[in-house]
Amino acid sequence: MKERNIKIIWSNSNETFVSEGDDWFSSAEKAGLEIPTGCLTGSCGACEIDVNGVTVRACISEIKNNKECLLRVSLTSDPFWEK
Ligand code: FES
């Protein structure tokens, strides 16, 4: 069983613990958020999120750990991000 050792602080202030390699969509769902989607192939940018200040396309990325085991996630511009 994978160790859930990465803490994510989401834009709605919820905190979840995930494992390296988990996908962004199901992890966001556990935090009560829905990442918008479009093409699901990495070309449209609808799923862009901000992870510790770096823009990531959620549909073509998986969660990667960092030294602090802490990721702060937000969406930079979509007002429909938070429910
Ligand atoms: S859904 Fe289009 S880039 Fe991710």
pLDDT per residue, tens digit, the chain (83 aa), is 678 899 999 999 999 999 999 999 999 999 999 999 999 999 999 999 999 999 999 999 999 999 999 999 997 555 554 54
Residue 37 CA to ligand 1 center (angstroms) comes to 6
User: What φ, ψ does residue 51 adopt, rounded to 5°?
Assistant: -115, 110
Structure tokens at 59: 């549909």
Walk me through the domains of the chain, giving residue ranges and CATH numbers.
6-74 (3.10.20.30)
Determine if the pTM surpasses 0.75.
yes
Q: CB 83: neighbour CB atoms within 10 A? A: 7
Ligand 1 atom with the smallest distance to the CA of 47 is: 4
Distances (CA, A) of 13 to 8, 28, 33: 9, 12, 11
Residue 68 CA to ligand 1 center (angstroms) comes to 28
Please name the residue ranges forming H helices in the chain.
24-30
Residue 6's DSSP bridge partners are 18
